[in-house]
Each structure stands twice: as structure tokens, then as C-alpha cells.
A and B are shown apart, each in its own frame.
Chain A
Amino acid sequence: MGLLNAVKDLRTVRQLLTKAEAEALRAGEELPGPEHLLLSALELPDGSAVRAFERVGADPSALRKAIESAHHGALAAAGFAEDEGGLEAPVERRPAPGVFRSTPQAQQVFQQAVALSKSTRPSLLRSAHVVAATCTLERGTVVRALTALGVDRARLKAAACAEVGIPG
């Protein structure tokens, strides 16, 4: 990888992780999970994640609400009633200083996305790599949110791979 591409890749990684952390803070959660990485990926400027969603007929802007609904539905199914909105996202928080911390599942998604990016030319991390890596998960909030959106993860993964030119 040339120097310019390396710098570009670093910028993408920083954008992805910083935004994921901000998404977790906004939701009042301690650590970013795969759902926050996915929300972050949908805002990366390369746009391939958004296009992957659109290829399968899913509305990327509906993901945040689907995540909230997944949590709400889980509570309701277990018999814990609450208002649809639950607690307001409490306060403005700022990221803790130091190294980026996330859930193990988010780390797994990030590492897999990076590994996928190495198989493309140029080997730059793109937002669709994050989508494809997320779609390999089988459980958890992001899986339930995608299901709530009516997204078939295998199809979404194939669409994400098509966006970056790798076999699905």
C-alpha cells in the first residue's frame, strides 16, 4: 500500500471508530458494539455501505430506530413494560480518553472488515467491508435490528461484497 493510501486508510479507521464510539455514547452505552460500528459505517463518505443496503431494498436511515425497537421488543417480550422511548438518552457525554475500547463482538467485526479489505485492490477499508463483516454475526442486537428491518443477512453480505468486488 502506498503512503497516500495508508494515510487514507488510517483516516477511514479513525472516522469509523470515533463515530462508533459517539453512537454508543449517544445511546447511553458503555462500549461500542457491532450495531454502533454499522451505524458509523453507514456514514462513511465512500457510501458503499449505504449502497449495499439499497441493493437489498433496505432503508439505511431506519437502522437506528430498528436498534431501539430491538431493545424495546426484548424488554417487552420478557414482560418489562416501558414507554416506547424508554429513558431519554441521558446527557451529552464525551469519549473516555485513551485507546479505543469496544465489545469483543465489535472488535471481531472490525478485524474481519480489515481482513476483508486486504483482499481487495486497492486494499483500503471501505464501509461495505464493515457491513459484510457484521453480517457474519449470528446473534445480538445488530442481528435482531437487521431482522426487524426485514434484512436477510446473507443477501446483505453478498450485496456488500459486490460493492467492493469480492466474492460473497
Chain B
Amino acid sequence: MKELKGIPAPDDPEAALAAVVALRRRATQLELAAVIEAVRQGWTWAQIGEALGISAQAAHKKFTPQLREPQGR
């Protein structure tokens, strides 16, 4: 497999997979924080979905339950 530039080769699978878990966790945190800010700025679920590459319905379904004050739109 061609190595990605800037990404360490996974010659130690245990360390590499632990990094994947930590990166996924960071991505989840960043995603939610960004969606909340987008909602605060008045983005529609269609716009959020488009930015994330998912449908408006999928974005609404995924994030609305996690918001303390769900923004129905």
C-alpha cells in the first residue's frame, strides 16, 4: 500500500490502531463542536449535511438528540 505523506507507517499495529481511536475521538469532538457552532450561526441542517457529505435528514437525526437544546428546523 502506498504510504500517505506525513502519516507514519503502521509498522506497529497496536500503536497505530490506538492512534486511530484517539483521532476518531478527536474528530467526533470537533464534528459536534462545529455543528453546534453552525447551528448557532443559523446554518440549516441541509447546509450542515452538505458540508459533512451526508443528507440533511442524517445530520438532523445524528446531532439533534445530542444537543441540549435541540434546534428543530
Contacts and interface: CB of A to CB of B under 8 A. Distances in A.
Most buried by A among B22, B29, B30, B67: B22
Contacts of A144: 18
B73 interface: no
A74 interface: yes
B52 interface: no
B29 A28 contact: yes
B28 A29 contact: yes
A2 interface: no
Interface string A20-37: 000001011110000000
A30 B26 CA distance: 11
Contacts of A74: 15, 18-19, 21-22
Interface of A: 25, 27-30, 70-72, 74-75, 77-80, 82, 86-87, 89-97, 139-141, 144
Interface of B: 6-8, 14-16, 18-19, 21-23, 25-26, 28-30, 32-33, 36, 65-68
B22 A75 contact: yes
A86 B27 CA distance: 11
B4 to A, nearest CB: 12
B28 A30 contact: yes
Given A30-B28, A74-B18, A75-B26, 9 more contacts: A28-B28, A74-B22, A75-B22, A79-B8, A82-B26, A87-B26, A89-B29, A91-B67, A94-B66
Contacts of B66: 25, 93-94, 96
A78 B19 contact: yes
Given A71-B22, A79-B8, A87 B33 contact: yes
A71 B36 contact: no
A80 B30 contact: no
A93 B68 contact: yes
Contacts of B33: 87, 90-91
Contacts of B68: 91-94
